[in-house]
Amino acid sequence: MASSQVAYLIPLKPDLKEDNSSPRITLSEGPNTIGRLNVSTTDKRLSRKHITITPSASGSASLSVEGTNPVVVRSSGERKKVNPRGEVSLVNDDLIELIPGHHFFKLVLPRESERGSYERAAKKARKEGDDVEAIRSFCPDSEKLPSTFRLLSVDGLPDWANTSCVSINDVVEGDVVAAVLSNYMVDLDWLLSACPKLVNIPQVMVIHGEGDGRQEYIQRKKPANWILHKPRLPISFGTHHSKAIFLVYPRGVRVVVHTANLIHVDWNNKSQGLWMQDFPWKSDDDKDTPKVCGFEDDLVDYLAVLKWPEFTASLPGRGNVKINAAFFRKFDYSNATVRLIASVPGYHTGSNMRKWGHMKLRTILQECIFDREFRRSPLVYQFSSLGSLDEKWLAEFGASLSSGITEDRTPLGHGDPLIIWPTVEDVRCSLEGYAAGNAIPSPLKNVEKPFLKKYWAKWKADHSARSRAMPHIKTFTRYSDQKIAWFLLTSSNLSKAAWGALQKNNSQLMIRSYELGVLFLPSPVKTQACNFSCTDNNSSTKKVKQETKGEVEKRSKLVTMTWQGDRDSPEIISLPVPYQLPPEPYSSEDVPWSWDRGYSKKDVYGQVWPR
């Protein structure tokens, strides 16, 4: 059980005015360790365990310095330096400089008249799981960023609700020499205004799923150096639905997998997710050039199916290079933190059947060892479009997602799924009102199948401040309380077209669409992170050193933002799962959203549906 919350630190700007762009740090009764992970900075002078503040419900507090650098406390007009291992008493409104002259915070302790209400609020917080506004404290260390994902920023939310969230300009940055943008919908006018950096990139390939009319418009309006490509769709009712960005730099390549169409509402009004990692060039003279890894094979196999027209880019120090699928073998993916789960259209047989869709996910999970607590633990399916399903296929899909074993080779066993899906009231009261329902495009005939009733669960996202930001993010996961066995961030909705359906006595997998996702798994904790960045010339390209036998056995643990434990621990990877776990099942009054039904009750903008 969490301790009572009795104080907090308010971040300040250098002029000592409140910095509303950074989250407040809540302090519980008893010792609170504050360090680099609590502050929106990569300043290495801040230790992971920099200071400990110990407040009490009576209104007193003390500070001790745990790190290697001194701290300054300003109290009653005096400025006092506190050296490492030193301790000092604190009073309300004291100012703290975590590094002398840098990283300012004001301590707020409860006044005597407020102490009773603080204790009551603390009691209520304990009862509710202590997870309110958890996103405030989601500030992953730079070394852990590739191991987690980020939510996209949402307009209209308070600054703290967008802590560590990203926009398109956080992704497309630096001296990009070539780019491949993969998506379903592309609003060229918005894209160029929202991300003007794209105009200056010498070569840009746009792989899309737009119809002929939109494609003709984009063709007329696009910059001259842009190339458009719509992959072949050999099976009817398929789409090119994958959402990814590949940016080539003089130092390496940035791989981005996300859930947003290249349109305004997707990057500003909805709950979305994004993962990215930078990878260096393979070294020609390195005798220890890494062997091909699973991530590399999966990536190149997927890109090869797209069959885009290769183009030539001029790369500093490398001359003219042809950009095709094979080009992406020139990078070192040995430190990839995720596995790719892709779908491509076709009738897949033999070994190809296990390369794509839910059979690929099944194959990888079957090779993974999970903690015993995940035996028969539940599953979550969360997405924004529901296909025409039947119970047979749902069992087939569930068998794939229930794969995996424990250390004693015992299968994890069947996981009971819940489907997180917005209700009509969720959409009506959302940031966009009923208009949000345009991006939750499932008809009544798919949504109201009787066998689905037992699976429905609510979109509740108070801890991420996204209950009113309707989900376009797609995620699938297996969990136990706030611990996660595995987590998939993907473009795939819950449909046979996206995931594939077994045919011919399970000897063939039929997939209609292109999809792409990233799978987060427990993995060995590496003793030296390869903190490589394509945009930071000071970042390291050193290989991860070999672990000892004991270190290999120590694996990362995936947890939610609301998990109560030591996030400073190297093996803890916090994922910003935007919705509540465990999900709350629908009540008898809840109605799942379907976009072809009429709704006469007015939304937050006074509109009815359809308009």
* Burial readout 452-479 (b: 16 or more C-beta within 10 A, e: otherwise): beebbbbbbbbbbbbbbbbbbbbbbbbb
- Strand pairing category for 339-343 and 244-248: unpaired
User: How deeply is 348 buried, as exposed, middle or buried, from its count of CB atoms within 10 A (0-12, 13-18, 19+)?
Assistant: buried
- Strand pairing category for 417-420 and 456-457: parallel
DSSP 8-state secondary structure symbol assigned to residue 241: -
Catalytic residue status for 348: no
List own/partner pairs for 541-544 with CB under 8 A and 24 or more apart.
541/280, 543/288, 543/290, 543/334, 544/334, 544/335
CA atoms within 13 A on the CB side of 56: 7
**How many Å from the N-terminal Cα to the C-terminal Cα in the chain?**
48
Catalytic residue among 50, 208, 348, 472: 472
Is 243 annotated in a binding site? The answer is yes
Q: How many CB atoms lie within 10 A of CB 6?
A: 25
Catalytic residue among 50, 208, 241, 358: 241
User: How deeply is 94 buried, as exposed, middle or buried, from its count of CB atoms within 10 A (0-12, 13-18, 19+)?
Assistant: buried
DSSP 8-state secondary structure symbol assigned to residue 67: S
DSSP 8-state secondary structure symbol assigned to residue 536: -
Rg (CA), the chain: 25
* Burial readout 45-77 (b: 16 or more C-beta within 10 A, e: otherwise): ebbbebbbbbbebebebebbbbbeeebbbbbee
Phi, psi of 191 (to 5 degrees): -60, -45
Is 554 annotated in a binding site? The answer is no
CA 43 to chain centre: 23
Question: Is the CA virtual torsion 386, 387, 392, 395 positive or negative?
Answer: negative
DSSP 8-state secondary structure symbol assigned to residue 130: S
Question: Is residue 470 classed as helix, strand or coil in its secondary structure?
Answer: coil
Catalytic residue status for 258: no
Question: Is residue 439 classed as helix, strand or coil in its secondary structure?
Answer: helix
Residue that the structure tokens 């529901």 belong to = 386
CA distance 7 to 106: 11
* Tokens, residue 212: 């002929």
CA 234 to chain centre: 32
CA distance 505 to 508: 8
Q: C-alpha distances in angstroms, 328 versus 246, 279, 332?
A: 10, 10, 9
User: Residue length, the chain?
Assistant: 611
Active site residues: 241, 472
- Feature table: binding site for substrate: 243, 474
- Feature table: binding site: 243, 474
